[in-house]
Amino acid sequence: MIDIRSDTVTGPTPAMRKAMAEADVGDDVYGDDPTVNKLEELGADILGKEASVFVPSGTFGNQLALFTWCRRGTEVILGEEAHIIVHEAGAASVIAGVQTRTIPAPDGVLTAAALKQRLRKQDLHAPATSLICLENAHSMGNVVSLAAMDEVRKTADQWKLPVHLDGARIFNAAAALNTDAKNIAARADSVMFCLSKGLCAPVGSLLAGTKDFVKEARLKRKIMGGGMRQAGILAAAGIIALTEQRSHLAEDHARAKKMAASLAHIKGVAVNSNAVDINMVFFSFPPASDPKQEARIMEIFAKRNILINPPDGGLFRFVTHYWIGDTELEAILDASREAFVL
Ligand SMILES: Cc1ncc(COP(=O)(O)O)c(C=O)c1O
């Protein structure tokens, strides 16, 4: 089966399975799990942060950041396509008890001008802004430049506000920007990043920041039911994700670019070529808006044992990852040439 619905589908590598089987474990709620402790130190070190805390998922890490930074009833500012607001099931209102306020953020970029229109101080009628959230790489396939991140940082500093980065794919962003992930992380006060997705660990994310922030997040993680006991079994795979898998992301990006170029040659396919910065290719094929055509397309891929998602808002999204090599890419392109015919 070739699965290009997302990079979240990546199964663990053989090295991860071995490390998981052999992991040295303890009770992490007591702080006794050596493998979790090692992962948390390694993750913080790679991002240039003082500390990090292991959490079950990216959504958990993002929501834990909001819960840790924000007083209930305050307001979080973020781009209108941010994962935190579009794909986290309204969690910010349930867990942190905050109000979210979006600004237009084409390609994931929040400008100082747009931010300043939304930031506000507490008064009798208005909630205070308590946090600004960024996303890099963006789940629409873009990376945000360091200069654009600087603009947000500067505005946040003027307003004495913290910045949280949803860095689910921070290492994809680092590879695409040809920079160290530390340079991206330095523009934010807290960073969530995923060990699953393109890095192939089966479970887990880290939330990084200062020692004080992480101490408070650890307490809030317990409140959220995220105190996991012998979690070293999972952390062992996370360590391999960080030590062995990061270097492969650039190959996924190269294959996505190759895929985008080939798809663009198919008549009727319009690739969103502005957004092929990482491992995702977004494209439209207008006939697929007809349910019969959509079903025909899905069937062609299914018959060839290729799993794709149906178009969302008129856009197909194909995602490359560690388990998509050159042979798989050729099979996907062959199926595409059969499926996308006018
Ligand atoms: C940008 C971004 N942030 C957060 C998440 C949430 O991660 P999880 O699925 O582990 O909750 C995702 C998931 O795909 C994502 O793309």
Provide the token pair at 324.
């998509």
Atom of ligand 1 nearest to the CA of 82: 1
Ligand 1: residue whose CA is nearest its atom 5: 58
Nearest ligand 1 atom to the CA of 8 is: 14
Say yes or no: CB of residue 109 within 6 Å of ligand 1.
no
Ligand 1 atom 16 nearest Cα: 139
Question: What residue's CA is closest to ligand 1, atom 4?
Answer: 58
CA of 235 to the centre of ligand 1 (A): 18
Task: State if residue 81 touches ligand 1 by the CB under 6 angstroms criterion.
Answer: no
Centroid of ligand 1 to alpha carbon of 166 (angstroms): 8
Q: Does any ligand 1 atom lie closer than 6 A to the CB of residue 86?
A: no
For the CA of 137, the closest atom of ligand 1 is: 1
Cβ of 65 below 6 Å from ligand 1: no
277 lines ligand 1 (CB under 6 A): no
Distance of alpha carbon 200 from alpha carbon 194, whole angstroms: 10
Q: Are 259 and 320 in contact (CB under 8 A)?
A: yes
Q: In which element (H, E) is residue 194 found?
A: strand 190-194
pLDDT score recorded for residue 241: 98
Consecutive H or E run containing 235: helix 232-240
Residue 274: per-residue pLDDT: 87
Q: Which distant-in-sequence residues (6+ apart) come within 8 Å of 38 by Cβ?
A: 235, 239
Element (H, E) at 45: helix 34-47
CA 173 – CA 194 distance, rounded (Å): 13
Chain centre to alpha carbon of residue 104: 19
| From 10, 139, 282, mutation site for ligand 1 pocket: most ligand atoms within 8 A of C-beta | 139
Measure 134 CA to ligand 1 centroid, in angstroms.
Answer: 13
| 8 A C-beta contact, residue 28 and residue 228 | yes
Starting from the edge strand earliest in sequence, which strands make up the sheet with 316-319, in order? 270-271, 280-284, 316-319
238 in ligand 1 pocket by Cβ < 6 Å?
no
**pLDDT of the chain along its 342 residues, tens only?**
999 999 999 999 999 999 999 999 999 999 999 999 999 999 999 999 999 999 999 999 999 999 999 999 999 999 999 999 999 999 999 999 999 999 999 999 999 999 999 999 999 999 999 999 999 999 999 999 999 999 999 999 999 999 999 999 999 999 999 999 999 999 999 999 999 999 999 999 999 999 999 999 999 999 999 999 999 999 999 999 999 999 999 999 999 999 999 999 999 999 998 889 999 999 999 999 999 999 999 999 999 999 999 999 999 999 999 999 999 999 999 999 999 999
Q: Which residues pair with 342 in a beta bridge?
A: none
Cβ distance 195 to 170 under 8 Å? no
By alpha-carbon position, which residue is closest to atom 9 of ligand 1? 58
CA 299 – CA 339 distance, rounded (Å): 9
